[in-house]
């Protein structure tokens, strides 16, 4: 029983890792960023490139991936998303186009493939990242054998969630973000530079996705299409949890993770995923605003 719960926790933490960035961009800005999965992918590729070209390991790649994806996110916000405020569905579509472009950038070695140049670590092929020795192996918790890397992911997820909570609820910029969530016009009237804060929010959300990508690269194969299923999962978590509610996202990731783990233990992974979709559809139909949303906007 304990190992089933741990599997659920592990799945949930991966879901939360991806969903955290989305919870911020979607919750704060009401922007559906279909390129979020590609941010995860970029984070994973940053890890690959860092280890090939700079000799930097998984841990060292975390800040680099955060910076890279935050910058890409900032650029996307300034160039595309900021032109589409108030056109939610159009943002969804435009960022889907961005997602394709980012995938192709990786496949074509940033476009250099046209000139016959390839960068080791990019391209269409599959990549793998080696987990450092001190993070591999198993530890025993309460008599159960637990993969150390899985435990490490859970730890990182907890740290990132706490960091995000701290920024959102204990800093000046966090207060501004929350003001924009409640009412963007009123926030602007109070002197908040909505455009700047939105761009920073988007960059931070993308950066979180980049860190998620680093963690993913440790236990998943890295390839250009890896982001698409993640963005779907991330959205299901965020929408189930309720827009603009960090706590809701955390709880819904935990809930969906446990459902996934339990179903997978009695049937298989495909059925578990199908059950997740069914549960989420039911929840959205029953409560479109999510399980843990507050009144606002």
Partner 1 sequence: MPVTKNTLALATYVVLFLIILAAPLYFDVFWLNRFSKFLVYGMLGVAMALCWGYAGILNLGQGLFFGLGAYSIAMSMKLASPTSLAQGSDTPIPDFMLWNAEPGAPIDLCCITNGSFLWIPFKSQFFGIAMGVVLPTLVAFAIGSIIFRKRISGVFISIITLAVVLLVRLLVVEAQPFTNGFNGLTDLGYLTVFGHEFDPYYVSTYYLIAISLVVVLVLARILVQTRSGLILQAVRDDDRRARFLGFDVPAYQIFFFCVSAAIAGYAGMLYVLVAEFASPTFMDLAFSITMVVWAAVGGRNSLLGACIGAVLINMVEATVSETPQLIEAWKVIMGLAFVLAVLFLPRGIAGLVSRLGYMIVRKPQKMPAARADAVDAEPARAG
The site for partner 1 (CB under 8 A) is made up of 32, 80, 83-84, 86-90, 92-94, 96-101, 103-104, 107-108, 113-114, 228, 232, 235-236, 239, 268, 270-271, 273-274, 277-278, 280-281, 284-285, 288
Question: Whole-number minimum distance, CB 158 to partner 1, in Å?
Answer: 27
Question: Whole-number minimum distance, CB 124 to partner 1, in Å?
Answer: 8
In angstroms, rounded to a whole number, what is the distance separating the alpha carbons of residues 106 and 45? Answer: 8
Of 170 and 295, nearer to partner 1 (C-beta) is 295
Of 90 and 144, nearer to partner 1 (C-beta) is 90
| CA distance readout (Å), 287 to 156, 180, 223, 243 | 31, 24, 36, 12
Q: How many CA atoms lie within 13 A of 56 on its CB side?
A: 16
Of 286 and 295, nearer to partner 1 (C-beta) is 286
Find residue 138's DSSP bridge partners.
Answer: 147
Of 109 and 176, nearer to partner 1 (C-beta) is 109
| Rg, Å, the chain Cα set | 19
Question: Whole-number minimum distance, CB 32 to partner 1, in Å?
Answer: 6
Of 106 and 212, nearer to partner 1 (C-beta) is 106
- With residue 39 as reference, give the H or E element that holds it: helix 36-49
Question: Whole-number minimum distance, CB 228 to partner 1, in Å?
Answer: 7
Of 176 and 240, nearer to partner 1 (C-beta) is 240
User: For residue 52, what is the DSSP state?
Assistant: I
Are the C-beta atoms of 212 and 40 separated by less than 8 Å?
yes
Of 145 and 267, nearer to partner 1 (C-beta) is 267
Contacts of 90 (CB under 8 A, 6+ apart): 84
Angle, alpha carbons 239-248-85 (nearest 5°): 50
Q: If you search the block for the tokens 């955390």, which residue do you land on?
A: 250
In angstroms, rounded to a whole number, what is the distance separating the alpha carbons of residues 144 and 161? Answer: 26
Question: Whole-number minimum distance, CB 93 to partner 1, in Å?
Answer: 5
For the chain, the straight-line distance linking the first and the last C-alpha, in angstroms and rounded, comes to 42
Of 67 and 84, nearer to partner 1 (C-beta) is 84
- With residue 96 as reference, give the H or E element that holds it: helix 88-107
Question: Whole-number minimum distance, CB 290 to partner 1, in Å?
Answer: 10
Question: Whole-number minimum distance, CB 96 to partner 1, in Å?
Answer: 6
Question: Whole-number minimum distance, CB 176 to partner 1, in Å?
Answer: 25
| CA distance readout (Å), 216 to 5, 111, 123 | 20, 25, 19
């Amino acid at each position: 029983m304990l190992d089933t719960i741990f599997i659920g926790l592990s799945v949930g933490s991966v879901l939360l890792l991806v969903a955290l960035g989305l919870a911020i961009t979607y919750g704060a800005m009401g922007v559906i960023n279909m390129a979020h999965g590609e941010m995860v992918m970029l984070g994973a590729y940053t890890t690959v490139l860092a280890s090939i070209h700079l000799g930097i390991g998984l841990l060292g790649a975390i800040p680099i991936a955060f910076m890279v994806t935050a910058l890409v996110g900032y650029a996307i916000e300034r160039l595309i998303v900021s032109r589409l405020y108030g056109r939610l569905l159009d943002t969804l579509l435009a960022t889907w186009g961005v997602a394709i472009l980012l995938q192709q950038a990786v496949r074509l070695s940033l476009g250099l493939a046209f000139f016959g140049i390839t960068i080791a670590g990019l391209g269409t092929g599959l990549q793998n990242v080696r987990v450092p020795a001190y993070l591999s192996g198993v530890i025993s918790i309460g008599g159960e054998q637990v993969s150390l890397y899985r435990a490490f992911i859970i730890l990182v997820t907890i740290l990132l969630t706490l960091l995000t909570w701290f920024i959102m609820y204990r800093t000046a910029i966090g207060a501004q973000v929350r003001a924009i969530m409640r009412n963007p016009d009123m926030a602007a009237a109070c002197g908040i530079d909505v455009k700047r804060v939105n761009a920073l929010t988007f960059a931070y959300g993308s950066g979180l996705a980049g860190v998620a990508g680093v963690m993913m690269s440790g236990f998943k194969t890295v390839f250009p299409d890896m982001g698409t299923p993640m963005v779907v999962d991330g959205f299901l978590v965020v929408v189930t949890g309720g827009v603009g509610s960090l706590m809701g996202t955390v709880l819904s990731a935990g809930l969906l993770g446990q459902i996934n783990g339990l179903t997978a233990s009695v049937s298989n992974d495909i059925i578990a995923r199908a059950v997740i979709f069914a549960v989420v559809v039911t929840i959205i139909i029953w409560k479109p605003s999510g399980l843990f949303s507050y009144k606002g906007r």
